[in-house]
């Protein structure tokens, strides 16, 4: 079997399961108070995908206990309704990590950020804001574990400023799809730099 045939695409979930997963993440905490200044939690699958992408790109291995802490709200454990809900969510998070890890183990063949689509004038338009928020969270949470050099810093800056730089929200559908391809290329480039510097 060729490496490409062995490659799994990120999380094969239908829309219903994605919505259920997002609902679990979204409702882990009560609404933050107006004066809340800490980090919010990861509250969507797209954010989780961006966060775990950054975790897996980190030059130092980050174990599950540590990266899972970064999913939760700063300084506060989540509020599960019951043990079944906790098991369902933790298994879903672990499954997505394993799927992404498999993608990384296959040299990011066919890597694509997991992004949502919003309907606009009859077209399903990709949106990257939540994915980028998750990636930024993952990078900043473990920034001390990165072995930064000018090349790596440059690519990370391009990723973190990607939305604003290309004015993504004002692009047409075709333009957004092209920019998404560029974002994937930046992740692959960062992965190559990580490998060459380790």
List the structure tokens of 8.
């799994």
What pTM was estimated for this model as a whole? 0.90
The C-alpha R_g of the chain, in whole angstroms, comes to 17
**Any idea where the domains of the chain sit in the sequence?**
3-197
Measured N-to-C along each axis, helices 83-105 and 15-26 cross at an angle, to the nearest 10 degrees, of: 120
pLDDT tens, position by position, 99-151: 999 999 999 998 999 999 988 888 899 999 999 999 999 999 999 999 899 99
pLDDT tens, position by position, 41-69: 999 999 999 999 999 999 999 999 999 99
């Amino acid at each position: 079997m060729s490496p490409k045939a062995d490659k799994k695409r990120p999380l094969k979930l239908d829309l219903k399961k994605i919505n259920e997963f997002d609902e679990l993440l979204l409702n882990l905490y009560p609404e933050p108070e107006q004066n809340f200044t800490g980090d919010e939690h990861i509250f969507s699958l797209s954010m989780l995908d961006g966060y775990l992408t950054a975790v897996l790109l980190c030059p130092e291995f980050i174990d599950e206990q540590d990266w899972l802490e970064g999913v939760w709200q700063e300084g506060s454990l989540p509020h599960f309704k019951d043990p079944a809900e906790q098991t369902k969510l933790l298994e879903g998070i672990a499954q997505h990590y394993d799927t992404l890890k498999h993608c990384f183990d296959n040299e990011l063949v066919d890597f694509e950020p997991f992004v949502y689509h919003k309907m606009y004038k009859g077209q399903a338009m990709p949106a990257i804001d939540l994915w980028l928020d998750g990636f930024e969270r993952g990078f900043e949470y473990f920034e001390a574990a990165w072995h930064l050099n000018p090349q790596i810093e440059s690519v990370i800056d391009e990723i973190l400023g990607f939305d604003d730089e290309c004015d993504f929200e004002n692009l047409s559908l075709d333009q957004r799809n092209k920019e998404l391809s560029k974002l994937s290329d930046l992740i692959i480039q960062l992965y190559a730099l990580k490998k060459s510097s380790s």
